[in-house]
Amino acid sequence: MAQAAIKRLFMDKIISSVGRGSTNHSADVKIVQKLLNAQKIPDVTVPLKVDGKIGSKTYARIEAFQKKILKMVHPDGRVDPNGKTFKKLSASTNKLGAKAGNNFTFSQKGINLLKSIEVLATKPYDDQVGINKTITEWVKGATIGYGHLIAKSDWTKYRNGITKTEADTLFKTDLIPFVNTVKTKVTATITQNKFDAMVILAFNIGRNGFSSSSILKLVNNPNAPTRYPNLEAAWKAWNKSQGKVSKGLRNRRGAEWAIYSKNVYEKW
């Protein structure tokens, strides 16, 4: 890619028009696709593939933005460097704080919600049975604090329980690899709520599960070939425990998806 094109992509500036009847330089198209993906357009949930190729999907997304956000009666499907559409795209994207995944950290809203989901347990319990069933001997699902799985080698450390302060410290330590996994694996331009949703998901399905998932593939490339029709379906497919659909996991996936798609942080 030419240096001028690299600079434009980094600065989110276009030098030529994009859309219907436009020049459609690849670097400019990529910028517009990226900016469109960062918008919250009503009834639009599937992001564009940021490939620099102009086509019917990009035309339609520009027109949807013009019609639903700019309230244009006759959208023209065109983005000009100094035009109203580009200025609004840039301004609203900056307000949303859209950026690459490795530029985020887990927000306090995300931390608070995840702690409320995992629920504090100061005594060890079997995760396969439930938080109300404390245990006195190590089992494979031995858990304490905010969802911390106890390794057999650590059982003596936790068998008599921990304090809330210790649980908070343990939780912060446990979070680090999951936050880093999302930071490292997500290459798409996202917003804080999407980053938070993926950390909460990864905390539950594991780093390897997240890293190899269709979810990650579709976040990074909406047109990636997977067995699912869209990202929402891929996300909500992680709803089984021991081979059976779990109501708890189904509700959890729904809450995560609400964060990702609607910026709504609520426990079910």
| Predicted confidence band of residue 124 (pLDDT cuts 50, 70, 90) | very high
Least confident window among 7-16, 68-77, 162-171: 7-16
**Are 265 and 110 within 8 A, CB to CB?**
yes
For residue range 47-70, list pLDDT tens digits in order.
898 889 999 999 999 999 999 999
Same domain, 178 and 70: no
Band of pLDDT at residue 133, cut at 50, 70 and 90: confident
Which of the residues are catalytic? 118
User: What pLDDT is stored for residue 203 in this prediction?
Assistant: 96
Instruction: Evaluate whether residue 106 is within a structural domain.
Output: yes
Give the structural domain span for 206. 102-262
What predicted TM-score, i.e. pTM, was given to this entire model? 0.67
**Domain count of the chain?**
2
| Integer Cα distance of 70 and 129 in angstroms | 52
Please indicate, yes or no, whether residues 128 and 195 belong to a single structural domain of this protein: yes
What pLDDT score does 13 carry? 78
Q: Calculate mean pLDDT across residues 196-211.
A: 97
Report pLDDT digits (tens) over 153-194.
999 999 999 999 999 999 999 999 999 999 999 988 889 999
Q: Are residues 49 and 77 in the same domain?
A: yes
Examine the pLDDT at 128 and tell me if it is beyond 90. no
Beta pairing partners, 241: 244
Residue 126 has what pLDDT? Answer: 94
- Within a domain: residue 154? yes
Tell me what percent of the residues of the chain surpass a pLDDT of 90: 73
| The pLDDT value given to residue 101 | 66
CA distance 28 to 9: 7
Is pLDDT at 264 greater than 60 in this prediction?
yes
CATH number for the domain that contains residue 118? 1.10.530.40
**Does the pLDDT at position 37 exceed 50?**
yes
Short-list 144, 147, 257, CA closest to 197: 257
Residues 133 and 68 in one domain: no
Confidence bin at 10 (pLDDT 50/70/90): very low
Residues 152 and 189 in one domain: yes
Q: Are 186 and 198 in contact (CB under 8 A)?
A: yes
CB 83 within 8 A of CB 66: no
**Is residue 7 scored above 60 in pLDDT?**
no
230 half-sphere exposure, CB direction, 13 A CA radius: 8
What is the reported pLDDT for 54?
Answer: 96
pLDDT at 168: 96
Domain C-terminal end among 80, 96, 112: 96
Please answer whether residues 213 and 202 qualify as being in contact, where contact means their C-beta atoms are separated by less than 8 angstroms: no
Contact predicate 217/224, CB 8 Å:
yes
Distance CA 162, CA 121 (A): 9
Mean of all residue pLDDT scores within the chain:
90
Asked if residue 210 and residue 107 are part of one domain, the reply reads yes
Helices (H), 126-265: 155-158, 164-185, 192-205, 207-211, 214-220, 231-236, 247-262
Helix axes 192-205, 164-185, angle to 10 degrees: 110
pLDDT of 129 > 90? The answer is no
- The domain boundary residue, chosen from 96, 112, 137: 96
Q: Are residues 88 and 107 in the same domain?
A: no
Answer whether residue 116 is part of any domain: yes
Contact present, 255 and 268 (Cβ < 8 Å): yes
pLDDT of 8 over the 70 cut: no
Mean pLDDT (whole number) for 114-124:
95
71/125 same-domain check: no
Assess whether 69 and 168 both reside in one domain. Answer: no
Q: 110 and 73, same structural domain?
A: no
What's the pLDDT at 50? 85
Residues 90 and 22 in one domain: yes
Specify if 153 maps to a domain.
yes
Determine, yes or no, domain membership for 254. yes
Burial of 217 (0-12, 13-18, 19+ CB in 10 A): middle
In a domain, residue 24? The reply is yes
State which of 96, 119, 139 marks the end of a domain. Answer: 96
267 inside domain: no
In terms of pLDDT, which residue wins out, 62 or 242?
A: 62
Is residue 52 assigned to a domain?
Answer: yes
CA distance 218 to 169: 33
Regarding whether 236 and 107 lie in a shared domain, the answer is yes
Taking Cα atoms as reference points, which of 253, 263, 230 lies closest to residue 97? 263
Distance CA(265)–CA(267), nearest Å, equals 7
